[in-house]
């Protein structure tokens, strides 16, 4: 089995077909360097003296049709609402037309649909005007409860919904939260309805096979919300199994298991190219130099991340792979596979290498091709070993079938 690693200059060479070495350049240093190519002609940190007298007013040239309706945030636009920036990028559009684009799901930020006109922009945000409205977000009917007792709940998260609010969103008004609710906001109402008039103890925990929250949010008004403690997360476009703690004690026990890396987590994904079996080891940092997370070769920087990869099936120019996490860092699988030259199909964030243009993704994946299909942990109260498996969702299975047929 090959062993991949991101190592510093003084480290010993690693035996393997691909030894990754990533240059970490903080944004401030990158700006002083003067030239940091990002996605071809886009160079937000450089001093474009020849392109514009004021570097903050420089608008990168668009070199392809795919970037025709894609807009990158300028330094002076940091903190602006997306609606205000769209008015700037789309001259001639009225406020009502801009709001209509948002409410009809024609606007995406970093690949995710945005319906909130008050969403504040960051420098790393990429805003896109979609040719067609994005698919509607999941609701309570799409959330599956796999196990439930007084201490834990295991959920099957559909793609298209965020697990929890990001830090900058926690102060949002309830009206803005309702535009795009998160899983931890929907789940308490579903659980309250399921448990109405019932009692679920630790020994009476119930497994559900594909059970769903059948009632709409409108029909749940007045139902007391159950307490939930998230102990891990899945990305918005990742589907699959999650466990939430329902008591502070259960949260403490589950977090301890995650810290010790004893929780079993298996993912299926579709990656570009011919992926080989191996273990990818690196240290991940929050900013690899272009505002994205990534690996660094700097000693003692970042957090250690380990991903075990096994190819399941070749699909022409793609590979269906199984990933087992030894650690659970943010975006770990996506980063590790991308840095090996095998970005996941449908990945709009890590689909391109650091400071280089992205290779075209011809897979036709409508979302990130990644799903969490296995979850195992020790029950925090009973000590029982709990293990859950699920099949990939329909869109993932259809992608695999289509690539299999086209590759034969």
Measure Cα distances from 62 to 41, 55, 68, 69, 354 in Å.
Answer: 8, 17, 6, 9, 19
DSSP notation for 369-401: -EEEEEEEEE-TTT--EEEEE-PPPHHHHHHHH
pLDDT in single tens digits along all 408 residues of the chain: 555 554 443 333 333 334 443 333 344 443 333 333 333 333 333 333 333 334 333 344 444 545 568 899 999 999 999 999 999 999 989 999 999 999 898 998 887 788 888 889 988 888 999 888 887 777 778 889 999 999 999 999 999 888 877 655 555 555 555 556 788 888 888 888 787 745 444 455 667 654 443 333 333 344 345 678 999 999 889 999 999 999 999 999 999 999 999 999 999 999 999 999 999 999 999 888 777 899 998 888 899 999 999 999 999 999 999 999 999 899 999 999 999 999 999 998 888 766 666 677 899 998 999 999 999 999 999 999 999 999 999 999 999 999 999 875
For residue 113, the model assigns a pLDDT of 83
For residue 133, the model assigns a pLDDT of 87
How far is it, in rounded angstroms, from Cα 245 to Cα 263? 14
For residue 219, the model assigns a pLDDT of 36
For residue 205, the model assigns a pLDDT of 65
Level-2 CATH architecture, domain 1-26+263-408: 2-Layer Sandwich (3.30)
**Whether this model's pTM surpasses 0.75:** no
> Which token pair is 204?
């009476």
Q: Where are the domains of the chain?
A: 1-26+263-408, 58-129, 137-260
Measure Cα distances from 352 to 277, 331, 344, 359, 368 in Å.
Answer: 22, 14, 10, 7, 14
For residue 211, the model assigns a pLDDT of 44
How far is it, in rounded angstroms, from Cα 118 to Cα 4? 43
DSSP notation for 22-85: -----HHHHHHHS---BTTTB-TTS--TTT-SSGGG--PPP-SGGGTTEEE--GGGTT-BHHHH
- Write out the catalytic residue numbers: 235
For residue 357, the model assigns a pLDDT of 67
* Domain 58-129 sits in CATH 3.10.290.10: yes
Q: Which residues contact 28 (CB under 8 A, 6 or more apart)?
A: none
For residue 324, the model assigns a pLDDT of 96
For residue 300, the model assigns a pLDDT of 85
For residue 59, the model assigns a pLDDT of 40
């Amino acid at each position: 089995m090959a062993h991949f690693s991101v190592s510093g200059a003084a480290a010993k060479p690693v035996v393997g077909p691909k030894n990754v070495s990533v240059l970490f350049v903080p944004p401030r240093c990158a700006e002083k360097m003067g030239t940091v190519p990002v996605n071809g002609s886009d160079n937000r940190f450089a001093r474009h003296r020849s392109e514009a007298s004021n570097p903050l007013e420089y608008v990168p040239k668009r070199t392809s049709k795919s970037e025709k309706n894609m807009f990158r945030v300028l330094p002076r636009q940091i903190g602006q609402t997306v609606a205000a920036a769209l008015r700037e990028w789309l001259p001639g559009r009225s406020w009502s037309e801009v709001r209509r684009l948002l409410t009809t799901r024609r606007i995406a930020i970093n690949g995710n649909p945005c319906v909130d006109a008050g969403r504040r922009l960051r420098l790393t945000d990429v805003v896109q005007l979609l040719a067609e409205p994005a698919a509607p977000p999941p609701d309570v009917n799409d959330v599956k409860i796999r196990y439930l007792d007084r201490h834990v709940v295991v959920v099957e998260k559909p793609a298209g919904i965020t697990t929890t609010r990001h830090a900058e969103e926690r102060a949002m008004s309830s009206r803005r939260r309702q535009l795009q609710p998160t899983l931890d906001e929907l789940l308490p109402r579903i659980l309250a309805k399921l448990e109405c008039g019932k009692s679920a103890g630790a020994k009476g925990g119930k497994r559900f096979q594909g059970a769903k929250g059948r009632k709409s949010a409108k029909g749940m008004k007045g139902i007391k919300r159950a307490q939930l403690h998230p102990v891990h997360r899945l990305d918005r476009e990742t589907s699959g199994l999650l466990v939430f703690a329902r008591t502070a004690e259960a949260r403490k026990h589950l977090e301890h298991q995650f810290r010790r890396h004893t929780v079993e987590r298996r993912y299926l994904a579709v990656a570009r190219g011919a992926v080989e079996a191996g273990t990818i080891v690196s240290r991940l940092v929050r900013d690899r130099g272009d505002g994205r997370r990534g690996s660094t070769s700097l000693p003692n920087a970042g957090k250690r991340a380990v991903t075990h990869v096994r190819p399941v099936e070749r699909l022409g120019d793609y590979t269906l792979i199984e990933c087992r996490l030894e650690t659970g860092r943010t975006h770990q699988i996506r980063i590790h596979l991308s840095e090996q030259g095998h970005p996941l199909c449908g990945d709009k964030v890590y689909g391109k290498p650091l400071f280089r243009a992205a290779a075209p993704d011809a897979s036709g994946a409508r979302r990130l091709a990644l799903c969490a299909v296995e979850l195992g942990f020790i029950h925090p109260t009973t000590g029982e070993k709990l293990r859950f498996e699920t099949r990939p969702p329909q869109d993932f299975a259809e992608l695999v079938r289509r690539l299999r047929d086209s590759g034969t």
